[in-house]
Amino acid sequence: MPPKVRGVLIAGNWKMNYGPKETEAYFRAMAAQAPSLPSDKLRACLIPPAVSLATAQHLASQNPFPITIAAQNAHWELKGAFTGELSGPMLKEIGLSTVLIGHSERRQFFGETDETVRKRADSLIAQGFEVILCIGETRAEREAHQTEAVLRRQLDEGVSAAALSSGKLIIAYEPVWAIGTGLTATPGQAQEAHAFIRGHLKKTHGAIADKIVILYGGSVTPENIDSLLACPDVDGGLVGGASLKPESFLALLSKVGRTFW
Ligand code: PGA
C-alpha cells in the first residue's frame, strides 16, 4: 500500500440523526469496544447535529482515543438575525474548532451556493476554524460529461486563496450520485476526480495544493475504504451511513490502521 503522506482523516457525518441521549449511547458503545488509534497520522472526527454538539464534545474529551467533533454548518456572520443558523463564536464556546461546509444536501435542499459556501468557509477560517468543504457533481452532470467543469466551478467560486493558504482547509469530494445510494465511485473514478481537484488547485494556487487533504465521500464502508485509500490523492473518507453504528465507524478506523500503519 502506498504511504499516506498527508495522513488519513475519517470523518463521520451523522446528518439529522442522534439527539443527545443517542449520542451518549453511541459514545458509551464506542468506549466499550475502542481500540487505541494505531497512529497519530490517523485522525477520527464525528459530525453530529447541532443539538448534540455540546454532549459529543464533552464525551469526546473522555473517549479512549482522540476524536474531533465538528459542526454540520455555520454562518459567516458572528451574530444577528439569521434564524436557524449557528455562529462561529457559539461553536467556539462549546470547544469546537472544525466545521463542515457546503454538503451536497445543503446545496440541494437548502439553497447553498458556491458563493455562500465561500463566505462561510472564509469567515470560519478567519475565526480560526478548520473547514471541511464539500464539492461534487450530480449524476446528470456526470452523465453529461460535466464532472470536471462542475468541480472547476465549485473550486474557483467556492474556495478562496486565503482559505487555501491558511492550512485550515480540507476538501471533501462527494459525487452526489454516490451519497446514500450504495453506489460508491470506483477507486479509478475517485482517483481521477481527486487528481483533477489537486491538479486544478495547483494550476490556480501553486504548490500549496500538494498539502491539501482531500477526502472521498459517498457510500464509504469498512469493506471499500482500503481500495479508496490506496489511491494516492485520496486522504480519507467523509462517511454518512457507515458512521451511524459505532461498530462500523470503529471498523473503518481499525481497517485503515491495520492496512496503512
Ligand atoms: P453516505 O454519505 O456515506 O451515507 O453515502 C456520505 C455523506 O453524505 O457525507
Q: Is residue 71 part of a domain?
A: yes
Q: Is residue 168 part of a domain?
A: yes
- Answer whether 0.85 is exceeded by the pTM: yes
Q: Is residue 3 part of a domain?
A: no
**Number of folded domains in the chain?**
1
- Which residues approach ligand 1 with their CB closer than 6 A? 13, 174, 179-180, 217-220, 238-242
- pLDDT by 10s per residue, the chain, length 261: 778 999 999 999 999 999 999 999 999 999 998 777 767 899 999 999 999 999 999 999 999 999 999 999 999 999 999 999 999 999 999 999 999 999 999 999 999 999 999 999 999 999 999 999 999 999 999 999 999 999 999 999 999 999 999 999 999 999 999 998 988 899 999 999 999 999 999 999 999 999 999 999 999 999 999 999 999 999 999 999 999 999 999 999 999 998 888
> If DSSP states are collapsed to H, E and C, what string results for the chain?
CCCCCCCEEEEEECCCCCCHHHHHHHHHHHHHHCCCCCCCCEEEEEECCHHHHHHHHHHHCCCCCCEEEEECCCCCCCCCCCCCCCCHHHHHHCCCCEEEECCHHHHHHCCCCHHHHHHHHHHHHHCCCEEEEEECCCHHHHHCCCHHHHHHHHHHHHCCHHHHHCCCEEEEECCHHHCCCCCCCCHHHHHHHHHHHHHHHHHHHHHHHHHCEEEEECCCCCCCHHHHHCCCCCCEEEECHHHCCHHHHHHHHHHHHHHHC
User: How far does the centroid of ligand 1 lie from the alpha carbon of residue 80, in Å?
Assistant: 31
Q: From the alpha carbon of 182, which atom of ligand 1 is closest?
A: 5
Q: Is residue 1 part of a domain?
A: no
Q: Is residue 162 part of a domain?
A: yes
Owning domain of residue 168 = 8-260
Pocket test of ligand 1: the residue of 138, 219, 225 to mutate, having most ligand atoms within 8 Å of its CB, is: 219
CATH number of the domain within which 34 lies? 3.20.20.70
Q: Is residue 227 part of a domain?
A: yes
Q: Is residue 2 part of a domain?
A: no
